[in-house]
Structure 1
Amino acid sequence: MNLLKNRVKPTLLLAVGLGIASGFVLIAQALIVAGLVHRVMIDGSGYREVLPQLLWLPPLMLARAGLSWISERVAFAASATIRQEVRNDLFQRLLDAGPLQLKGDRAGEVATVIVDGVEALEGYYSRYLPHLAVMAVVPLSILAAVVPADWISAGIMLFSAPFIPFFTILIGRGAERLNQRQWQTLARLGGYFLDRVNGLATLRMFNASRREAEMIARISDDYRRATMSVLYMAFLSALVLEFFATVSVALMAVVIGFRLLKGGMAFQDGFTVLLLAPEFYLPLRLMGNYYHARMEAIGAAERIFNLLDTPLAPRPAAPHPLPPVSPLRICLEDVCFRYSPDSPPVIDGVTLNLAQGERVALVGPSGAGKSTLAALLLGFALPEQGRVLINGVDLAQCDLDQWRRHVAWVPQSPHLFHGTIGDNIRLGRQDATDTDVLQAASRARCGEFIARLPQGLDTVIGEQGAGLSGGQARRIALARVFLKDSPLIITDEPTAGLDAHSETLVREALGELAQGRTVLSIAHRLATLEDTDRVVVMSGGRIIEQGHYDDLKGAGGLFARMAAAGEGA
């Protein structure tokens, strides 16, 4: 939290200074009011005699209101700035970490932290931190003003004041644990709910919607109980603080009343103390309320910092310029990779060469390492042993973002974002004109159905391509690749699960896309391999066979057995 605080330190100091200045104005205002009342009620002074003092009240009231308002605005601006920066840092961290580092995180939990978790920091920066300094200065200033008027009342203030922060901290220790539990439950609820919303069709098909609704109700009830526990602690804390503040002010009022009756103190001094006593305890009481904003922020910050501590994908400290990629030659030399130090290698001693314009297919049983090998070529991870050479230069020493500009990825289930079709295609090249986008769409065999849409490229689609068929979504993903015009294309069976007509269109588009480009395809159906130049067979993280489709089919190895059994890869 201190690291975040340093980013807006000047703004927070300004808010604190304004708050303290407002406290000083309050003291001056109370002293003037007490003097005015004494002169009018006790001394019997007339209007003309008190007019000079009376004229000070309006500007002091305006100054106090203005300082308080500006202090709150400045503190809120600091809070808004820090929340924006934290969200930017979180999103950048997720981008830098890459998909392999985030495979274990549920999207709903991450979204809950980025939205609600970051929003929970608002009270900490806009109220708790500025008021912490005000609480330390203003009550002491009021105490200094009360001592000359009545040292007995000052003693009561000095004795009772420490009880308020003491009980605040005492109760707050339990609240911190409850707040962390509340945020963990909220994150779990967000992740679970998003998973079930995305799988509504599956739940309905398997008659599991009622069971999942009951599970969501149970998690929601856990969150309700966690929230009520936090509120219980907050109300208990407020009750204790109000009790001590009220009893202390009442005690001073009783003591001052008896002393005034006996003539033991001047009216002006007693009235001054009674005006300042509630204001003395007000910062302490507010601090107790704002302390729970701190607890809420700490509960959310734990998960925020967990995300900020997500391990980054390895990248060179001083990257070398990427060599020219035309013609493109890729060489994997004895590459090994594992996801964690204590896990077995997923890629184990792979050596593979890809020539310019060559079409290579990766096949093998599930878990053979095909997708991991593609991730290494995409720069999402770096090998722990061996090298990936791009035209003779080690990819681990290059700028990976620059490399990805020369690589296009066509997954089996492409992600389409909520927005227009044109915006989704422009992910391939942000500065593309409508003409470029339409040309790419036409080459991807989706120009015809886009032309039939009422708004054409401006047609808005839902998340995950809602409103489009599976074949249309695959072709829009291919249009992105055409627009990007990369020399290396990596695909993961983009024709899987399509009807015959859609598969034909996608295969035609892939054939045109492969012209003059290097293509590495992860094949799950052996029937799609006949057009490839070379088939690479993987098993257990190793390459065990490679060659032309017909040669491997008659070689009697794993590929031949898979082909004979009619297996997918």
Structure 2
Amino acid sequence: MKPIDPRLVVRIGPARRYILVTAGLGLLTALLVAVQALLIARMLAPVLAPTPLTGDGLGWLGTLVPTSARELSSGLPLLAGVIALRTLTSWLQERLAHRAGAQVISELRSQVVAHAAAMGPRWIASGRGADVVTVVSRGLDDLLPYFVRYLPQLALASTLTPILIVLVLGLDWLSALIVTLTLPLVPIFMILVGLVTRERSEKHLKAMQTLGARTLDLIAGVPTLKALGRERGPAARVRELGEAHRKATMGSLRVAFLSGMVLELLTTLAVAIVAVTMGFRLVEGGIGIETALAVLILAPEVYLPVRNVGTHFHASADGLAAADAAFEILDEPLPAMGGDAPAPDAARGAIVVTGVGIATPDGVREAPSGADVRCSPGTLTAIVGANGSGKSTLLLALAGLLPPTAGRISLETGSAADDAPERDAEVVAQDGALLVDADGWAKQIAWVPQRPDLGPAGRTLSLGQRQRVALDRAFESGRPVLLLDEPTAHLDPDSRDQIVERMRALAASGATVVVATHEPDVVHAADEVLTVESREITEVSA
């Protein structure tokens, strides 16, 4: 797993700006840490020195901090100012991190949702819809720790650590050598821990996606389960999925705590080596007290950003795994939808389906296959057939949401009694492409799917109530074409009769009404009935 996903930088503007700002704040933090360490060394040296100090123990670094800072009256105000600036920098870093994280998550969510919608309802119904819901609802929330905790420490490790090593080298070459030799051990252990963390993060995200998909399926099927008296049946399965999610989460936390302990122990031992070596040299008089204090204060600061990168890596791993899942969705190629030609006026003619066949996503069958029907204004057309024969798919094609694999859909003007050569025809969709403007065509159509989604307002309604509300909206839309998928499937007999009457009334007023149905009452009321069939696709070798 890369420390920075380049796709975040390339595709998401707030992420790119935030990384640049973080690098600048890292440089400022490095300067403040160095000045703070040297100030503390200046002030403590006269107190701990056995004899009065005569020379400048900081060497060429003494130019950063005046020797007058040895006096508390001069050193304390400077130290307070540096601490205040460092606090302000940390506050600014935290504030910008939260803001950038929220913006990136919001923008990435919008892109994923927009892309999923552009993929079409058939792609969503194939099972990917649950993955989209999991990623945008919970998965991308894990990107916030990545921006708030991980990226700032990564910037400090790239700026603060090298600068402080140079400062330690300017004070004492032996201590700089010890730091340089022990520092690579931290990223080595980070890599080892990261390999385990990546596996845990992938399992965690998979558990979330599985639980989310199962939960959404159960919620969608609750009306049917309740009607059959089986609403309590899936409880055991939900408990199993919840337990799997709990174990995955606890596994990630366990790895995080262990990785933090390992890195903490490693850096503590490295600083201890520097301190013990410095102590012996102080006793022998091989180094001055002011130099030793500055090195001892700077040494932990050298390891701190690198250690924190490893500590916070688990927080970023879940976020980057979710971002990777989001970019996998965004990398799905969009179907070719919509052409340059303006959409014809659907109220002026009949929608004619000629030899339309639509391949299933796996390419094994055509459902429907070879469909032929003429849906004229002022008529009610019923589409019937066995389950899986392509009734709903044909409605999607009529709505311009799914171009036919074979055949064509056109709009023909003229009376049905006229001879075909005298009619004007404009092809709407043909051979896998929608040839007219998709938005212009969709604005003329009212489409009600089998399970209409009314948003938050529909969560308190039963499936039958949602269907009635969606049908009322379609009937009152005033659009010339109505496509209704099983509009009476979840209604009582009285409501079913009312819907059939309203469909007949709309057709009588000049609308083109097309209904996919199994209900005999609807078929009996229809002016035209199309029976769709599916067929296996056989490859013909050349």
TM-score by length of 1: 0.81
C-alpha deviation, 1:343, in angstroms: 1.0
**Letter of the aligned partner of 1:308 in structure 2?**
L
Which structure 2 segments of 5+ residues have no match?
54-66, 413-424, 429-433, 537-542
Q: Are the aligned partners of 1:40 and 1:46 in contact in 2 as well (CA < 8 Å)?
A: no
Are 2:356 and 1:349 equivalent residues in the alignment?
Answer: no
**Letter of the aligned partner of 1:324 in structure 2?**
D
Are 2:250 and 1:228 equivalent residues in the alignment?
Answer: yes
* SS of match in other structure, 2:349: coil
**Letter of the aligned partner of 1:528 in structure 2?**
V
Q: Are the aligned partners of 1:413 and 1:494 in contact in 2 as well (CA < 8 Å)?
A: no
Offset from partner CA, 1:8-48 (integer Å, 9 cap, x none):
21222112211321121110111122112224554389999
Task: Choose the corresponding residue for 1:28, options 18, 30, 35.
Answer: 35
Q: Are the aligned partners of 1:29 and 1:60 in contact in 2 as well (CA < 8 Å)?
A: yes
Offset from partner CA, 1:150-209 (integer Å, 9 cap, x none):
111111111110000111012211221121011101211122233334545665676756
Counterparts of 1:500 and 1:2, CA distance in 2: 58
Q: Work out the number of aligned pairs and report it.
A: 496
* SS of match in other structure, 2:378: coil
C-alpha deviation, 1:504, in angstroms: 3.0
- Tell me the equivalent position of 1:447: none
C-alpha deviation, 1:273, in angstroms: 0.8
Offset from partner CA, 1:205-253 (integer Å, 9 cap, x none):
7675665322222222222222233223222222221111111111111
**Letter of the aligned partner of 2:427 in structure 1?**
D
Q: Are the aligned partners of 2:448 and 2:485 in contact in 1 as well (CA < 8 Å)?
A: yes
C-alpha deviation, 1:81, in angstroms: 1.1
Evaluate the alpha carbon distance shift between residue 240 and residue 530 of structure 1 in structure 2; reply closer, same or farther with a 3 A threshold: closer
**Letter of the aligned partner of 1:10 in structure 2?**
R
Q: Are the aligned partners of 1:12 and 1:74 in contact in 2 as well (CA < 8 Å)?
A: no
C-alpha deviation, 1:139, in angstroms: 1.2
**Letter of the aligned partner of 2:517 in structure 1?**
A
Q: Are the aligned partners of 1:15 and 1:72 in contact in 2 as well (CA < 8 Å)?
A: no
* SS of match in other structure, 2:138: helix
* SS of match in other structure, 1:55: helix
Counterparts of 2:17 and 2:485, CA distance in 1: 52
Offset from partner CA, 1:113-147 (integer Å, 9 cap, x none):
21111111222233323322320221111111111
Evaluate the alpha carbon distance shift between residue 382 and residue 264 of structure 1 in structure 2; reply closer, same or farther with a 3 A threshold: same
**Letter of the aligned partner of 1:351 in structure 2?**
D
- Tell me the equivalent position of 2:391: 370
- Tell me the equivalent position of 1:537: 531
**1:52-451 residue pairs with structure 2 within 5 A?**
52-105=74-127, 108-200=130-222, 212-316=234-338, 318-340=339-361, 342-391=363-412, 392-395=425-428, 396-419=434-457
**Letter of the aligned partner of 2:218 in structure 1?**
R
* SS of match in other structure, 2:162: helix
Counterparts of 1:187 and 1:166, CA distance in 2: 32
Counterparts of 1:132 and 1:488, CA distance in 2: 57
Deviation larger for 177-186 or 387-396: 387-396
Counterparts of 1:534 and 1:207, CA distance in 2: 38
Q: Are the aligned partners of 2:165 and 2:176 in contact in 1 as well (CA < 8 Å)?
A: yes
Are 2:512 and 1:518 equivalent residues in the alignment?
Answer: yes
Counterparts of 1:411 and 1:301, CA distance in 2: 31
Q: Are the aligned partners of 1:376 and 1:382 in contact in 2 as well (CA < 8 Å)?
A: yes
Evaluate the alpha carbon distance shift between residue 364 and residue 517 of structure 1 in structure 2; reply closer, same or farther with a 3 A threshold: same
Offset from partner CA, 1:517-541 (integer Å, 9 cap, x none):
1111223123333433222233336
Counterparts of 1:3 and 1:529, CA distance in 2: 53
- Percent sequence identity over aligned pairs: 32
Q: Are the aligned partners of 1:176 and 1:298 in contact in 2 as well (CA < 8 Å)?
A: no
* SS of match in other structure, 1:536: strand
Offset from partner CA, 1:362-388 (integer Å, 9 cap, x none):
223333332221111011210122221
Evaluate the alpha carbon distance shift between residue 236 and residue 277 of structure 1 in structure 2; reply closer, same or farther with a 3 A threshold: same
- Tell me the equivalent position of 1:462: 459
**Letter of the aligned partner of 2:440 in structure 1?**
Q
Offset from partner CA, 1:445-478 (integer Å, 9 cap, x none):
xxxxxxxxxxxxxxxx534x24xx83x5443222
- Tell me the equivalent position of 1:527: 521
**Letter of the aligned partner of 2:192 in structure 1?**
L
Q: Are the aligned partners of 1:108 and 1:193 in contact in 2 as well (CA < 8 Å)?
A: no
Counterparts of 1:491 and 1:328, CA distance in 2: 19
* SS of match in other structure, 1:225: helix
CA RMSD of aligned residues (A): 2.6
Counterparts of 1:349 and 1:203, CA distance in 2: 36
Are 2:23 and 1:16 equivalent residues in the alignment?
Answer: yes
Counterparts of 2:131 and 2:363, CA distance in 1: 27
- Tell me the equivalent position of 1:448: none
* SS of match in other structure, 2:17: helix
* SS of match in other structure, 1:489: strand
Evaluate the alpha carbon distance shift between residue 410 and residue 141 of structure 1 in structure 2; reply closer, same or farther with a 3 A threshold: closer
Evaluate the alpha carbon distance shift between residue 216 and residue 13 of structure 1 in structure 2; reply closer, same or farther with a 3 A threshold: same
Counterparts of 2:467 and 2:238, CA distance in 1: 33
- Tell me the equivalent position of 1:2: 6
* SS of match in other structure, 1:491: strand
C-alpha deviation, 1:278, in angstroms: 1.2
Offset from partner CA, 1:298-355 (integer Å, 9 cap, x none):
3323432333244534314x52221233313322233222023631222333333333
Q: Are the aligned partners of 1:22 and 1:64 in contact in 2 as well (CA < 8 Å)?
A: yes
Counterparts of 2:255 and 2:277, CA distance in 1: 33
C-alpha deviation, 1:412, in angstroms: 4.5
- Tell me the equivalent position of 1:500: 493
Evaluate the alpha carbon distance shift between residue 209 and residue 350 of structure 1 in structure 2; reply closer, same or farther with a 3 A threshold: closer
